[in-house]
Chain A
Amino acid sequence: MSTDHDLVHVSRLRPGMVLSDELIDSNGLVMLARGAVLGEATIASLRRHHIDMVPVARVEAHVPPDAEAVRARLDYLFRKHVPDDDNDWAGGLLRRYVEDYRMERGVAP
């Protein structure tokens, strides 16, 4: 299904890896759903079922946001906003929250 995965031999599976496709047994039944996070017990069970290769989602390296670029773009987007204008505080708050969001501060998704 998805192209952003690696086929990993069962001996190289590590807890925490994520299944990129569902695993179907010889009877056509779903053993594990797509997106399942592999644990020690699951990996042992896969070995017992003589499963060879398992499709594992490729983890993209997380690129931290470029603070300067984020701020520069927000400065431009909010260029008509007057920071000290009491009538425009909602705009200021929106800007602050979007900056926090872009900088991945605060609540995790």
Chain B
Amino acid sequence: MSAALTIDPATLVDGLDDLPSLPAVVMELLGSIDEDDLDISLLARKVAADGALTAKTLRLANSSAFGLQVKATTIAQAMTYLGFQATRNLIMSAAMTGCFPSGRCRSFDDRAFWRLSIASAACARVLARHLHFNQDVAFTAGLLHGIGRLVLATRFPEAYELVLRERKRLDAGLIEVEQAMLGLDHVDAGVALAGHWQFSDTLRQAIACQRTPETPGAGFLATIVHVAAAVAHALDLAGDADEMVPPVSSVAWTALGLSEEAWLHVFRETELQYEEMSAILMT
């Protein structure tokens, strides 16, 4: 493995300016995930100015996962019916899934990437419901936990191409190959992006600790995301022939404390929500 590929962590952060930028309103929403005193009607008007984003958000809001009796036809209505936080997370999901260019890195299957992300998000949301944790925050964290892979594929397409080929050749874990060849991994890249895009601290912490949820202070969200991602791999929802289930932290698994019966329900609900969400987010 060549050392010439090594990415200097500083360039990782600098280079993020080359990454696609999110609509200004989405940046505003991201930074505000922990706040509750925002001018909601102003935000609703700003989002409504983006037609494509509005359409996608409303399709999500009207999907059966949210069980609305009356269809929401405007962002303001969605906020009234679903609440501000749920709508905010839907807007972010709709914006994120469309904002990275595809095809820069040949071995990077961005459709499979998003399928896995949406499956993880669906599972995180279902787990959160079972555990009385904030479902919307869990969904967003599940959706974004692997975003560092997109950063590496977009920012360093040639180097990442070699990483992906090497991973396939060795049939090894992605993180290990990234570490060995680049000197950093997609969790580092995700954390850098989280800083750059001003994700909330909760979200950033969950991304940082997704592989090590047993770290003291990692937070419960990291536990949910860690297990949700493993479930998404195990349910084979990415449609990736080379799919591999990563190690599952026994500490995280135990912390969720679910019975087998509960798990079978979680699998079923995850698959149902995944199907509906991916049909909307991947158009």
A residues near B (Cβ < 8 Å) are 73-74, 76-81, 87-91, 93-95, 97-98, 100-101, 106-107, 109
B109 to chain A, nearest CB (A): 17
B268 touches A94 (CB 8 A): no
Report the Cα distance A107→B230, complex, angstroms: 21
Instruction: Using CB atoms, name the residue of chain B closest to A74.
Output: B234
Judged by a CB distance under 8 angstroms, whether B67 is at the interface is no
Other-chain residue from A74, A77, A109 in contact with B268 (beta carbon distance below 8 A): A109
Question: Which B residues are CB-close (under 8 A) to A73?
Answer: 236
The 8 closest A-B pairs by CB, nearest first: A90-B253, A90-B248, A90-B250, A91-B248, A101-B267, A97-B263, A98-B234, A107-B264
Complex interface: chain A residues within 8 A of B231 (CB): 94
Q: Is the CB of B267 within 8 A of A97?
A: yes
Most chain B beta-carbon contacts within 10 A, residue among A78, A79, A87, A97: A97
* CB-defined contacts of A74 to chain B, threshold 8 Å: 234
Q: Does B112 contact A (CB under 8 A)?
A: no
B173 touches A80 (CB 8 A): yes
B278 at the interface (CB under 8 A from A): no
User: Are A88 and B234 closer than 8 Å at their CB atoms?
Assistant: no
B265 within 8 A of A: yes
Within 8 A of A (CB), among B202-254: 230-231, 233-236, 243-250, 252-254
Say yes or no: B243 contacts A107, CB within 8 Å: no
Cross-chain contact A77 with B247 (CB below 8 angstroms): no
* B173 proximity list for chain A (CB < 8 A): 80
B264 close to A78 (CB less than 8 A): no
Name B267's closest neighbour in chain A (CB-CB).
Answer: A101
Check if B8 is an interface residue, CB within 8 A of chain A: no
Give the number of chain B interface residues (Cβ < 8 Å). Answer: 26
* Cβ 8 A contact of A97, one of B233, B236, B244, B264: B264
What are 28 contact pairs spanning A and B, CB under 8 A? A73-B236, A74-B234, A76-B243, A77-B245, A78-B245, A79-B171, A81-B245, A81-B247, A88-B247, A88-B248, A88-B250, A89-B250, A90-B249, A90-B252, A91-B230, A91-B247, A91-B248, A94-B253, A95-B245, A97-B264, A98-B234, A98-B235, A98-B267, A100-B260, A100-B264, A101-B263, A101-B268, A106-B261
Once the chains bind, are B245 and A106 in contact (CB under 8 Å)?
A: no
Tell me whether chain B's interface is mostly helix, strand or loop, or mixed: helix
> A77 and B261 in contact (CB under 8 A), knowing A88-B247, A88-B248, A101-B268?
no
Contacts of B261 in A (CB 8 A): 106-107
Whole-angstrom CA separation of A91 from B248 in the bound complex: 5
Query: A76–B268 Cα gap in the complex (Å)?
Result: 21
**Closest-CB distance, A98 to chain B (whole angstroms):** 5
Task: Chain A residues near B253: list those with CB within 8 A.
Answer: 90, 93-94
Measured in the bound complex, the distance between the Cα atoms of B246 and A1 in whole Å is 42
Assembled-state Cα–Cα distance A95/B180 (Å): 28
Give the residue name and chain of the A residue nearest to B271 (CB).
A101
Known: A88-B247, A89-B250, A90-B253. A78 touches B260 (CB 8 A): no
Pick from B236, B248, B265: contact of A77, CB below 8 A.
B236
Measured in the bound complex, the distance between the Cα atoms of B265 and A79 in whole Å is: 25
**A77 touching B233, Cβ below 8 Å:** yes
Contact mask B63-86 → A, CB, 8 Å, 1/0? 000000000000000000000000
CB-CB contacts below 8 Å: B263-281 with A:
263-265, 267-268
A106 partner residues in chain B, CB cutoff 8 A: 260-261, 264
**A95, B245: Cα distance in complex, Å:** 9
Contact A97/B250 with A80-B173, A80-B245, A91-B245 known, Cβ cut-off 8 Å: no
Residues in chain A near residue B265, CB distance under 8 A: 107
